Amino acid sequence: MTAATQHHPHANLVAEGVSLSFSGKPVLRDVSLAVVPGELHALIGPNGAGKSTLLAMLSGDRTPESGTVALAGKSLREWRFKDLARERAVLTQDNTVSFPFTAAQIVEMGRAPWQRTPAENEDDQAIAEAVAQTDVQHLLERTIPHLSGGERARVALARVLAQRAPILLLDEPTAALDLRHQEDVLRIARDRARAGDAVVVVLHDLNLAAAYADRITLLARGEISASGAPSDVLTAERVHEVYGQEVEIIERPGRPPLIVPLR
């Protein structure tokens, strides 16, 4: 048994020593990570640190050159696509849709993995719940090309939530959103984790990570710089070292710390 599985005996999605290069340039180097049910796990780090690549490996969309990613003890490469889609739902950064689907049709696509299964009976309830959570009811009849970037992002999230998979992998779900909807998305993610799902979120905003994550993994140059509780990972020294920006960490008893750039 390896260190990652020893540390998280209940982990059902585990990356072990994964590495990948693009055009000969290392993007990830020997990264191990366990995705644990009941935990909101934030991946943070500067641009180009390997966050989205790692998330794509955890989803099975990218295959590591070395190392393995396994779900329930079985390599992702051995999973049938439809079976995998029932286990994990993925929100990518790219929400472009070239066809004029309505928002309602996009959300309904989240139920595709459950066609011809008993869970098909939950379609209407799952869609209605996802639509309410993401505040897109008023957008359902509109076509995707006529939505703003933030509206498209919320519709894409509704599709992912409607899928009702026990593992949620979200790549920068707050990037195009206004302040209120950013908080909404992280609250939804945290609620899913509290209900027992495993949630991994790529974030740029260190304060959102500090406020909502149970665990933070900080990536730098394709390697894990630190992983643990937000207060352990987000120190002024480490943030300065990895991001090249001096910050002040303002501790607030009983509330998440604030990370403030020194200007």
- Output the domain CATH number for residue 158: 3.40.50.300
Amino acid letter, residue 52: S
Report pLDDT for 3: 36
Structural contact between residues 165 and 85, judged by C-beta atoms closer than 8 angstroms: yes
User: Which H or E run contains 193?
Assistant: helix 179-194
Task: Encode pLDDT of 111-143 as tens digits.
Answer: 999 999 999 999 999 999 999 999 999 999 999
Size (the chain), residues = 263
Contact yes or no for 34/47 (Cβ under 8 A): no
Report the distance separating Cα 113 and Cα 110, nearest Å: 7
CA dist 8 → 53, 72, 195 (Å): 22, 13, 18
Looking at the structure of the chain, the number of domains it has is 1
* Residue 106 confidence (pLDDT) above 90: yes
Residue 246 lies in domain: 3-261
Average pLDDT score over residue span 190-201? 97
Q: What pTM was computed for the model?
A: 0.92
Q: What is the pLDDT of residues 135-161, one digit of tens each?
A: 999 999 999 999 999 999 999 999 999
Task: Give yes or no for residue 227 having a pLDDT over 70.
Answer: yes
The whole-number pLDDT of residue 41 equals 98
CB-based burial of residue 136 (10 Å sphere; 0-12 exposed, 13-18 middle, 19+ buried)? Answer: buried
Radius of gyration of the chain (CA): 18
In this structure, what are the phi and psi dihedrals at residue 5, rounded to the nearest 5 degrees?
-75, -30
Region for residue 61 given its phi and psi (left: phi exceeds 0; alpha: psi -120 to 50; beta: otherwise): alpha
